[in-house]
Structure 1
């Protein structure tokens, strides 16, 4: 699951910071963080081949364009150069990039993670598996972008898929096992291990570790979405990643970036 911006609770407590409930409060939080001694930028930009820059971008789309825009871009019924899509970038993401709120793209699991955990940045957009990448997961907090009034927002969730080869000698037994793993009882065991969010209905929140419980609660009232670039795949995905890397360092090239992204959309 890609829930939002992670922060260290100890950092927020030390600097009297609070989780924003409106976009104005989010921008104000970034300004406040930028003035803290030792901070390089409020948000660290984790990267590798272009994600999780793509995950951050999808979160802005799913929040300020809504779940319907995210789905329409995924299935190709909306263009990246459409006025309302451009507005999400131009009004929300690009001003933050141009204003120095994000760092330059840094390798995710080494540079970005270490710099954020070490206090050089306060926020890091990453998936829920981050709980297994830090020394003390109990110090983790997370929040999604504050939703606008009147918009049905979404959040990206990556479900797991099982495959049983036809040539296995124990196909029946394998299917029984996988059916159990996908059940409420199987998923309850999984979430207790930490770092997982149940895909089965009925798994009680009380069975989640504290930090994962907070992640699961972020799904309340939002539409669950599939990852946009993973779903489209192909040359679109690699181009999407590279164009976002360009946008991160040259936000004034928004229009050419959106046009280049649209150019690689598969024919619908």
Structure 2
């Protein structure tokens, strides 16, 4: 949003915000451009976490892992039990960003992560190399051939009880029937460094922006005001059990147990990232990071070459 606002491609909708209620300061901050004006109306949000089916875990006596070592041991046991430990897909390029994000947040902390996304830190640093090295150690526990699989297909392996876990957004629930929703549960990705802990997470916000020159600006502003209001949020609650509404005035009595737990998780987070392709420049995410992460998944051995390539391309893009 900030990128598009800075480029003059989105309209200032601060006047719409003057008519809205039910949004926390955090949501307003997330909707504000570098110039202090608002360019975005939040509608929904969702945390990324590690999802699993309660019935599968009860059957095998699995316990939620508290550390990376716990997670690795759990995954090894799942393999013995005939499960794919971690469902994984990256055909569309963006899902693997969630894995990079959470490992960087757990290993290097929130501030380093956002600075890296802003182009202020080097991708060739030992900190970034440690992220890829840790990921390389976890890759054998992930579903193989991920570059040929969509996130929906990976979610279906969890739904079909073929995989034990899946790191994804709350929208994973879209691949489960209403009856199966109650069998879904999650835990936040475990800590790697006790000094950093496990309180930071990705929780992207989805919402609406207005083009620089809409054909019918008055109606566009009225529509944004409606989207940001209680009525629209109430409709979302009734129709989508796989997301959370941003407006606190909404009637959330219809939230499932999973939605309530997800809202609590976001509320307890000390820092919230928006997801890699939102926290950095979109041109950097699409032209550099997507092919780089897919290359890493195919060949996780040349971390030095990979990070050097990312850094060299980053320098040319961020000087634009």
Instruction: Say whether the 8 Å CA contact 2:65–2:190 is kept in structure 1.
Output: yes
Q: Which residue of 1 aligns with 2:221?
A: 175
Instruction: Say whether the 8 Å CA contact 2:95–2:151 is kept in structure 1.
Output: no
Aligned partner (choices 150, 171, 178) of residue 129 of structure 1: 171
Aligned partner (choices 134, 141, 148) of residue 101 of structure 1: 141
Instruction: Say whether the 8 Å CA contact 1:129–1:195 is kept in structure 2.
Output: yes
Instruction: Say whether the 8 Å CA contact 1:52–1:125 is kept in structure 2.
Output: no
Aligned partner (choices 95, 98, 105) of residue 55 of structure 1: 98
Q: Secondary structure at the match of 2:303?
A: helix
Give the drift of 1:83.
Answer: 1.4
Q: Secondary structure at the match of 2:186?
A: strand
Instruction: Say whether the 8 Å CA contact 2:94–2:290 is kept in structure 1.
Output: yes
Give the drift of 1:94.
Answer: 1.8
Instruction: Output one character per residue of 1:208-266: Cα deviation in whole Å (capped at 9) or x when no partner.
Output: 21112222222113312122224321154233122212222322122222222222212
Unaligned runs of at least 5 residues, structure 2? 1-45
Alpha-carbon RMSD: 2.5
Partner Cα distance (2:286, 2:85) in 1: 27
User: Which piece of structure 1 moves more, 27-36 or 172-181?
Assistant: 172-181
User: Which piece of structure 1 moves more, 237-246 or 198-207?
Assistant: 198-207
**Mapped pair 1:197 → 2:244:** yes
Q: How many corresponding residue pairs?
A: 262
Q: So what's the TM-score if we normalise by structure 2?
A: 0.72
Q: Which residue of 2 aligns with 1:242?
A: 291
Q: So what's the TM-score if we normalise by structure 1?
A: 0.85
How has the CA–CA distance of structure 1 residues 28 and 205 changed in structure 2, closer, same or farther, with 3 Å as cutoff?
Answer: farther
What aligned pairs does 1:222-233 form with structure 2 within 5 A after superposition? 222-230=270-278, 231-233=280-282
Aligned partner (choices 137, 140, 144) of residue 188 of structure 2: 144
Give the drift of 1:184.
Answer: 5.6
Partner Cα distance (1:7, 1:173) in 2: 43
User: Which piece of structure 1 moves more, 153-162 or 24-33?
Assistant: 153-162
